[in-house]
Structure 1
Amino acid sequence: MLSHLSQEQIKYRNDFREFADRVLVPNAARYDADQAIPDDVIADLAGRGYLGALLPAEAGGLGLGMVDYGLLTEELGRACQSIRNFVACQDMVAHSIWKWGTPEHRERRLPGILTGRTPAAFALTEPEVGSDAAAIETTAVADGASIVLRGTKKWISFARRAELFLVFALFEGRHTAFLVDRHTPGLSVEPIEGLLGLRGSMLGRISLEDCRIPATDLLGGPGLGLTFVASSALDIGRYSTAWGSVGLAQACLEACADYVGRRSQYDVRIKEHQLVQRLLADLITDTTATRLLCHHAGRAKELAEPTAVEHTLMAKYRASTVAVQAAAAAVQIHGAQGIGPELPVQRYYRDAKVLEIIEGTTQIQQTLLGRFAARTVQR
């Protein structure tokens, strides 16, 4: 199953898997129960260069190719979706600063993100604004050498832990991005707990009440917030979610393969029951197929193909739906054990559903891909 990878990529994948198995798998249930990621894990991720791994070496990153990065997010997703989500959020903000920021932004902001000292959050979604990001209501008004932000952001991953927020607001009627420090007067965070899945993602609601920041903390220029800054960052988030979904499906497959070889019913190992074999057949086939779809999306990005964004949409759409199917099958195969807290498949089931919602819902992906298909056929 690794024939499509280079020897260097196989080594990367093995290194990523060793870290995930040693550090994350034994502790993922605790992160889920505590609804938080410990500081020592963030430091460990930073120490291995996993925060900002897409950035070039001169920026302090690992300079990973897109397929290499996909292998990382698959292994993180196989072990713990909250950790994968954390890494994705750091990459989204770090990439935005590297691509759209000034030299001063890069010098001042990137080291803190990459070392884990300044965790970052991507603050786009609002209480009444989800998929339709253009409808955001948060405003930014110039006031001398300052900009004053007013509004509310909700469902923001790692808002409870972040020291830096990438905030999107309407500035002079145009969508614009801003860098906002956590301790800026007027900024407050209310925790959101009790989530269905990705419970370690430390979500929060951000209130911006006459929050005054330096005008120099505008990122990318007025009017570039949605079309350029947010769109390129969200593309990374979708790509990470796609590969992470493959990782979750792989975790389901591994859990089931182990369980059916140990569990007996009617004096027969359940792996011998044909209906169980059917579930396993779909698990391994769908997981393998979506992995190759993600690999194709990564290669399209590396080759700068014109349809690379659409291939990422396909990968995220199919991989997230497969993750839900795989998790449902895993719970079914495990029976009563699958809904208990002792085994991880119930967590996989909860996490998988969230993957169909974040970074663009299944229905949004279907709409966009339907339009893409219609354009392609017309050619």
Structure 2
Amino acid sequence: MTGFAGLVAAARENAAEWDRTGLPADVIGAAAGAGLLGPDRPREWGGHGLDAYELGELAAELGAVCTSLRSLLTVGAMVSAAVDRWATAAQRAYWLPRLVSGELVAGLAATEPGAGTELAGVATVFEEDGTELRVSGRKLWVSFGAVADVLLVLGRTEDGPLTALVRTDQPGVVVEPVTGQLGMRGARIAHITLNGARVPRDQLIAPPGFGLSHVLGTALDHGRYTVAWGSAGMAGACLHEAARHAAERTQGGTRLADHATIRAALGRGWVEVQAARALCERAARARAAGDPDTVMATVAAKYAAAETAARVGAEAVQICGAAGCAADSPVQRFARDAAVAQIIEGSRDIAALHLGEQVLTRMARAEDGRG
């Protein structure tokens, strides 16, 4: 991918600064130029046609240097995947080249004050207004919402949940940038208030009733997948940093790495990182094969990788000590980002609940001889 190596190198050098100030516009533009806003979309729409494994490795490489840059990949890919799957042919021809190229930066506006995990409870409403619709509501924690040109908005109608692409450069859209949050501080997060913003009918993605289960379902599944791989990359980077520090740091003439407790911590971390990657690879194989188990394989990968990033990141901070607590320390930044990874696209408890339901379903099937 043209320009990708340079972008990764820039992230290694500047990620701490971006964490303080947000991803700059020129970096977002460079990311778009490198093909990060829909790399798995078909080439006819400007994508690179990456397969599931290639997309995962891309997310892992970004996750190992800058979570906010990985988040840009995630958000762009979520929206473009949902449009590619559920939009009409005319909508795909218009929107996908613009989304994938970065001509239009996209955000996903789903979460609300009263609807986070349970998106069926959204209060945002689409109402008929002659030849178009108007949308009103308040959306929270929209990644890249502060710079988005268009939002994929989830709301409700009398006929069921609806999603639509809503342009932000119009009256009725109020953007409130968010700063100082726990993690992903570079991801240009914003709260969005919609006050009767106009929505032409040709910007509705799928009919009413399909907005949550189908359109948002596709986007969130795609998001979990890249978050899983990105978290695995982040965990690996934390382990590497902890091992490097342990090998270089001496106390009383003894390297930290020569302490049995440090070596044991590094060994546990290595096993956890390998296990998380194995689940990510399993999810990649399921996606490539069109396996019916793809969704749950992705949930399992995201759950395990985010948990691993949190545990390995926290351990890395302890091993690195004061150096790990410094403002520009990558392990300090990753430890904060990992806490957010445990929440986004489905919190760890909700993921564990779904996985537990699968355990019981499979056990019942095994007992009655159905597999």
Query: What TM-score does the superposition give when structure 2 sets the normalisation length?
Result: 0.95
Shift of the 126–204 alpha-carbon distance from structure 1 to 2, 3 Å rule, reads: same
Counterpart code for 1:184? Q
Aligned to 2:146: 160
Aligned to 1:24: 11
1:206 is displaced (CA, Å) by: 1.0
CA offsets, 1:62-102, max 9 Å, x none?
Answer: 11111110000000000100010111100111111111112
1:15 is displaced (CA, Å) by: 9.2
Question: Aligned partners of 1:95 and 1:17: how far apart in 2?
Answer: 21
Q: Name structure 2 gaps, 5 residues minimum.
A: 366-371
Question: Aligned partners of 2:173 and 2:305: how far apart in 1?
Answer: 36
Query: What TM-score does the superposition give when structure 1 sets the normalisation length?
Result: 0.93
Question: Aligned partners of 2:29 and 2:171: how far apart in 1?
Answer: 28
Counterpart code for 1:362? R
1:23 is displaced (CA, Å) by: 2.1
1:341 is displaced (CA, Å) by: 1.6
**Are positions 1:282 and 2:256 aligned together?**
no
**Which of 152, 169, 186 is 2:172 aligned to?**
186
Shift of the 322–16 alpha-carbon distance from structure 1 to 2, 3 Å rule, reads: farther
Question: Aligned partners of 1:211 and 1:167: how far apart in 2?
Answer: 11
Aligned to 1:351: 337
1:360 is displaced (CA, Å) by: 0.5
Aligned to 1:81: 67
Q: Name structure 1 gaps, 5 residues minimum.
A: 1-13
Aligned to 1:4: none
Counterpart code for 1:24? A
Aligned to 1:232: 218
1:144 is displaced (CA, Å) by: 1.8
Contact 2:3–2:34 (8 Å) recurs in 1: no
Aligned to 1:122: 108
Shift of the 365–16 alpha-carbon distance from structure 1 to 2, 3 Å rule, reads: farther
Question: Aligned partners of 1:108 and 1:366: how far apart in 2?
Answer: 39
Contact 1:242–1:319 (8 Å) recurs in 2: yes
Contact 1:138–1:170 (8 Å) recurs in 2: yes
Question: Aligned partners of 2:139 and 2:28: how far apart in 1?
Answer: 24
Question: Aligned partners of 1:20 and 1:315: how far apart in 2?
Answer: 26
Aligned to 2:47: 61
Aligned to 1:100: 86
Q: How does 1:1-379 map to 2 (within 5 A)?
A: 18-19=5-6, 21-34=8-21, 36-379=22-365
Shift of the 112–15 alpha-carbon distance from structure 1 to 2, 3 Å rule, reads: closer
CA offsets, 1:314-352, max 9 Å, x none?
Answer: 001111011000101100001111111242211111111
Aligned to 1:5: none
Aligned to 1:9: none
Shift of the 287–15 alpha-carbon distance from structure 1 to 2, 3 Å rule, reads: farther
Question: Aligned partners of 1:46 and 1:119: how far apart in 2?
Answer: 9
Contact 2:18–2:186 (8 Å) recurs in 1: yes
Identity level (%): 37
Question: Aligned partners of 1:51 and 1:118: how far apart in 2?
Answer: 10
Question: Aligned partners of 1:32 and 1:112: how far apart in 2?
Answer: 27
1:17 is displaced (CA, Å) by: 8.3
Question: Aligned partners of 1:236 and 1:224: how far apart in 2?
Answer: 17
Contact 2:7–2:30 (8 Å) recurs in 1: no
What secondary structure does 2:117 align onto? coil
Question: Aligned partners of 1:254 and 1:17: how far apart in 2?
Answer: 22
1:31 is displaced (CA, Å) by: 0.6
Contact 1:16–1:72 (8 Å) recurs in 2: no
Shift of the 15–164 alpha-carbon distance from structure 1 to 2, 3 Å rule, reads: closer
Question: Aligned partners of 1:184 and 1:108: how far apart in 2?
Answer: 19
Question: Aligned partners of 1:41 and 1:17: how far apart in 2?
Answer: 11
Counterpart code for 1:354? V
1:20 is displaced (CA, Å) by: 5.7
Segments of 4+ in structure 1 off by > 3 A?
14-21
CA offsets, 1:116-164, max 9 Å, x none?
Answer: 2210000010011100011101111112211011111111111101000
CA offsets, 1:256-281, max 9 Å, x none?
Answer: 12111110012111101000001100
Question: Aligned partners of 2:310 and 2:203: how far apart in 1?
Answer: 40
1:199 is displaced (CA, Å) by: 0.2
Question: Aligned partners of 1:249 and 1:169: how far apart in 2?
Answer: 35
